[in-house]
Structure 1
Amino acid sequence: MDGAAFTTLERANAQDVDRAVAAARRAFDDGRWSRAAPAERKRVLHRIADIIEERALELTVLGVRDNGTEFNMALKAEAGSAAGTFRYYAEAVDKIYGEVAPTAEDVLGLVHREPVGVVGAIVPWNFPLMIGAWKLAPALATGNSVVLKPAETASLSLLKLAEYCMEAGLPDGVLNVVTGQGSVAGEALALSMDVDVLVFTGSGATGRRLLEYSARSNLKRVYLELGGKSPNVVFADAPDLEKAAAVSAMGIFRNSGQVCVAGSRLLVERSIHDDFVAALSRHAGALRVGDPLDLGSQVGAINSLDQLEGNLGFVADATAQGAEIALGGGRILESTGGYYMEPTVLTGVAPDNRVFREEVFGPVLAVTAFDGDEEAIALANATDYGLAAGVWTGNLGRAHRMVRGIRAGIVHVNTYGGSDNTVPLGGVKQSGNGHDKSLHAIDKYLDLKTAWIQL
């Protein structure tokens, strides 16, 4: 990647968004999709997955050029994940049942599950296709219409996905994609009086604004995934410290740290601190950073110059507050014109340091030593976020205590990263509310309606 523009996009205004929402509303109200038989919706979603798989290479290259994720990771995490997500919810379509309430003999109480109507979805630039599928597939499976707003710097794969959906037989108006600035198109979507549910993955500042827009408009339900500052806790009794070092390095440096669940805070038991940091730095230093379309690259590009400068600012602030650079710390490959940064390891990071508390969203690892379980839990929870965490220990009792003690939506034990559609992803505290993935995600896109029938 050379930092040069290679295409342009339409910059939607508020009127464009209104037209997209109106199209979604018409499609929902006339029943072309919302009242389609579950078997028909299932067939279309499976066909979407088929097309994604058939054209995975095209879709992946398009996305990599857009956002800089290393190709090998993008092929699996973007196209591969999106196809799997559409298949998962395709299979769920005809397995969503209502309920019969335990009422008196002369009354029949029925609980119906109905689609909410028009869903607004705003997705980020780091994994647009994967996260877009997390929103689109369950919303479409349950019969809703969707207006999707991709990130300004990563829209192309989702525009292509919309073409695939039409080809697969999704009726006109059911999926609408509007590109443009969040401050214009995203705001218009959030303020719309005709959007029933808004789902969002991105920054906390934007999430707060979306809640305000809901209050100013129609009190639409808003579900937020707002990132994290995830602790990765390594105890001296971990079953394989060398493996823990290698996996922990990838847990922060894959996709240049531009991952919401990245293990960006490494908490290491003091007795092994120096040796473990040395091992992790050795693994991180061996990673090949470069052109994300080069199959030999293990770490790709930073998404934008603004993001790169922000990452470097965190490093400067950390060292000014007493942290030391054990590895990296600077921009590299500047002669290419692209935005690349060394995997960076900072040691001696105190809990009051900004890099300990705030999400960098870049290849910057903050390392802090601890003594004992209680301090580990206290440090792990010493942040406003609660999305993910990791624990490395050979003690089963300790593992359970850490899972219970750390406030996070997902806690990995003796691994970092990895899950599938069978389990939910969501956070606590300022990492947001609601869940993507699993059958639990469907709840966001359904309303409950009670029928109370006198017999």
Structure 2
Amino acid sequence: MPAVTHDEWLRRAEAVELPGAHHIDGVEEAGGGSSFSVVSPRDGHVLAEVADGGAAEVDAAVAAARRAFDSGPWPRLAPADRGRVLVRIAELLEERREELALTVSLEMGKPITDAHDIELRAVINTFRWYGQLADKLTDESPHTPPDALALVTREPAGVVGAVVPWNFPLTLAGWKVAPALAAGCTVVLKPSENSPLSALLLAAVATEAGLPPGVLNVVNGNGPVAGRALGLHPDVDVLAFTGSTAVGRHFLRYAADSNLKRVWLELGGKSPNIVLPDAPDLDKAAATAAWGIFFNQGEMCTAPSRLLVHSSIAEQVTEAVVRRARELRVGDPLDPATEMGALVSAAHLDRVLDHIATGQAEGARLRIGGERTRTATGGSLLQPTVFDRVDPGMRLAREEIFGPVLSVLTFDDLDEAVRLANATEYGLAAGLWTSDLSTAHQVSRALKAGTVWVNCYEEGDLTVPFGGMKQSGNGRDKSVHALEKYTELKTTWIQL
């Protein structure tokens, strides 16, 4: 990205036109007339008034998606033609990259550099990758007796309801929408009420790229109303959700109480990051641990929020993390020099502060941070926070905080490290730092996590699947495997 100053980003932010209506059947729809305010966490100011959807708007969006699936052209297009539309979406997202990055930064507090260089890169690559994949998939013809022919085909599953959170509003929407569209499905997307603006822009881009009406619809609204209506809707065939484990349980109940739709869940995490004394580079391990927990303000389900360090190196590694936290630049999300921006809302900041207060009351040692910062701006900013002397039974070690709060725990041998790592209801991700190849393989196999990073963290690309075990969910985003969520296997047996 060419160098853009803080003042220039502020000027460009003033010029951004933010949407406010639902996107249903290819056009903007105001809905029933009620609205809610989208408040920017960078300064507490209202960004936009957005149409507030309920059962009526969800019904309209699902009906549009059903028509588009049952009688529209999208599921009947040649896969290569669907792929070309997805690639065109990627191209238009690239053309509007700055506008979209600003929108993300304004609505959820992500630093503008991360929004532009990481969030937008991810969603652009996702649509391009699935667009290029669309015509590369093959069906099966199993070996049969000579008097028969068997065909196993993958067919689009139908209408997909996608409910996504605010921490990576475009990336996570892309991980649901792009493979669903590539498979030939139609989609009703419900973004978080904290971050609906970027999702509405995504829908507008998709329509401009040639996506037929009704294929991608966006309904704004809160979870207990619009999300519930989507989860209970009898004409939704598949529900894909990323968010908290508590809300994931609701979607499973909605499916049971309606049409037994398939529900795919990517839920919370309390990811362990294990540092052994033979780590190839302890300074790099510490720097990566700090980056992992403070990136995106700690608002990541994969955040390495539990740092498990061998007792012989615990103080050395912890001090290095604290030093990095002290150097971290917390500031205005629109300042390109900012490394950690604002938490998504004042209410979320209060929840994180409650966890911090509980950690102190339970006896953990606060090494740095723990307080609001830059309060004069009106923004929801928090100091990067590190606790050590954390006991495995404390809330700090058990509950997902979803903020820039690191808990340091120690162990004395490898078996204890694995026990501590797996002593959680979650199983989304884990990290391991070691120079020993056998240890890397053995511990990776022993960790109950959907992704294990060895001597790195948060690495990967679209070729590898992403998802969790245990109460971190089921199914996988990214990679060819994501298409399994949005397709049905059909067997055709022909007697010759």
Matched, 1:259 2:300: yes
2:97 pairs with 45, 49, 56, which one?
A: 56
Alpha-carbon separation, structure 2, partners of 1:363 and 1:446 = 38
Q: How big is each residue's C-alpha offset from its partner over 1:65-113, in whole Å with a ceiling of 9 and x where there is no partner?
A: 0000111111132211111001111111111211112111111111111
Matched, 1:7 2:48: yes
TM-score w.r.t. length of structure 1: 0.99
Shift of 1:48: 0.2
The aligned counterpart of 1:396 is 437
Taking the TM superposition and a 5 Å limit, the aligned residue runs for 1:180-329 are 180-329=221-370
Letter of the 2:391 partner, please give it.
A
Letter of the 1:104 partner, please give it.
P
The aligned counterpart of 1:423 is 464
Alpha-carbon separation, structure 2, partners of 1:319 and 1:63 = 33
- Residue 303 of structure 1 aligns to a residue whose secondary structure is coil
The aligned counterpart of 2:484 is 443
- Residue 190 of structure 1 aligns to a residue whose secondary structure is helix
Which runs of 5 or more residues in structure 1 are unaligned? none
Q: How big is each residue's C-alpha offset from its partner over 1:147-199, in whole Å with a ceiling of 9 and x where there is no partner?
A: 00000000111100100000000000101000011111000000000000000
2:130 pairs with 80, 89, 102, which one?
A: 89
Alpha-carbon separation, structure 1, partners of 2:118 and 2:477 = 15
Alpha-carbon separation, structure 2, partners of 1:416 and 1:111 = 38
2:71 pairs with 30, 39, 43, which one?
A: 30
The aligned counterpart of 2:11 is none
The aligned counterpart of 1:354 is 395
TM-score w.r.t. length of structure 2: 0.91
Shift of 1:28: 0.4
Letter of the 1:381 partner, please give it.
N
Structure 2 contact 47–107 (Cα < 8 Å) conserved: no
Alpha-carbon separation, structure 2, partners of 1:398 and 1:109 = 45
Q: How many residues are paired up?
A: 455
Alpha-carbon separation, structure 2, partners of 1:33 and 1:90 = 14
- Residue 411 of structure 1 aligns to a residue whose secondary structure is strand
- Residue 407 of structure 2 aligns to a residue whose secondary structure is strand
Letter of the 1:352 partner, please give it.
G
Alpha-carbon separation, structure 2, partners of 1:406 and 1:101 = 36
Structure 1 contact 349–368 (Cα < 8 Å) conserved: yes
- Residue 76 of structure 1 aligns to a residue whose secondary structure is helix
Shift of 1:18: 0.5
Shift of 1:335: 1.0
Structure 1 contact 210–222 (Cα < 8 Å) conserved: yes
Matched, 1:366 2:411: no
Structure 1 contact 228–387 (Cα < 8 Å) conserved: yes
The aligned counterpart of 1:378 is 419
Letter of the 1:140 partner, please give it.
L
Q: How big is each residue's C-alpha offset from its partner over 1:238-295, in whole Å with a ceiling of 9 and x where there is no partner?
A: 1111111111100100111001110000000000111110011101110100111100
1:74 pairs with 95, 115, 125, which one?
A: 115
Alpha-carbon separation, structure 1, partners of 2:243 and 2:117 = 22
Alpha-carbon separation, structure 2, partners of 1:421 and 1:22 = 32
The aligned counterpart of 1:157 is 198
Letter of the 1:388 partner, please give it.
A
Alpha-carbon separation, structure 1, partners of 2:460 and 2:44 = 33
Alpha-carbon separation, structure 2, partners of 1:393 and 1:112 = 44
Alpha-carbon separation, structure 2, partners of 1:330 and 1:222 = 39
Alpha-carbon separation, structure 2, partners of 1:107 and 1:34 = 29
The aligned counterpart of 2:87 is 46
Alpha-carbon separation, structure 1, partners of 2:93 and 2:173 = 13
Letter of the 1:442 partner, please give it.
L
Alpha-carbon separation, structure 2, partners of 1:39 and 1:411 = 34
1:17 pairs with 46, 58, 69, which one?
A: 58
Alpha-carbon separation, structure 2, partners of 1:294 and 1:158 = 23
Shift of 1:380: 0.2
Identity of aligned residues (%): 55
Alpha-carbon separation, structure 2, partners of 1:46 and 1:53 = 11
Alpha-carbon separation, structure 1, partners of 2:436 and 2:141 = 45
Shift of 1:13: 1.1
Matched, 1:131 2:172: yes
Alpha-carbon separation, structure 2, partners of 1:269 and 1:74 = 35
Alpha-carbon separation, structure 1, partners of 2:460 and 2:346 = 31
Alpha-carbon separation, structure 2, partners of 1:325 and 1:179 = 39
Q: How big is each residue's C-alpha offset from its partner over 1:345-397, in whole Å with a ceiling of 9 and x where there is no partner?
A: 00111111011011000000011010111000000000000001101111111
Q: 1:339 to 1:203 in 2, by over 3 A?
A: same
Structure 1 contact 20–176 (Cα < 8 Å) conserved: yes
Shift of 1:37: 1.2
Structure 1 contact 269–370 (Cα < 8 Å) conserved: yes
2:383 pairs with 333, 342, 347, which one?
A: 342
Shift of 1:322: 1.1
Letter of the 1:206 partner, please give it.
V
Shift of 1:31: 3.5
Alpha-carbon separation, structure 1, partners of 2:405 and 2:461 = 26
Letter of the 1:435 partner, please give it.
R
Once superposed, what is the RMSD of the aligned Cα atoms? Answer: 0.7
Letter of the 1:426 partner, please give it.
G
The aligned counterpart of 1:407 is 448
Structure 1 contact 77–130 (Cα < 8 Å) conserved: no
